[in-house]
Amino acid sequence: MEKKKRAYILLIFSIVWAIIIFVLCALPSSDLPGVQVPYFDKIAHFGIFFVQSVLLSLLFNFQTRKSYFQIILLSTLMAFAYGGLIEILQSNIFNRSGDIYDLIADILGGFFGAIAFPTILRFFRMTFKKA
């Protein structure tokens, strides 16, 4: 039962994070804080999809018997699909400009998040085992 509970928690976190991504990407760019760091928006896209991919990878790890390669592939494909959908919505509905470089940052964040998930999983296991 404990494994199911963890999977539900991860599912909830993943859905909440996806909603946060959606809301942030739907906001008019004028409502977002102006940061004077070059390519900050690409760094932000990478970061938010990195977190999403880690959450999804952990969820896939707990819920399925997928191999590490399959988990990386699924998480990266989901980052591509969700990031692509958001870029299309930004261009056509949200009165923002969709950007292929944002999509590339989304995919890279998803890929590296999936690559990092075993290390993050080990870290949490060691941390909570001591507690």
Average pLDDT, the chain: 87
Q: Residue 129: exposed, middle, or buried by beta-carbon count in 10 A (0-12, 13-18, 19+)?
A: exposed
Torsion angle in degrees (nearest 10) through CA of 102, 56, 93, 25: -60
Q: What is the mean pLDDT of residues 101-123?
A: 93
Q: What is the mean pLDDT of residues 100-113?
A: 95
- pLDDT band at residue 91 under the 50/70/90 scheme: confident
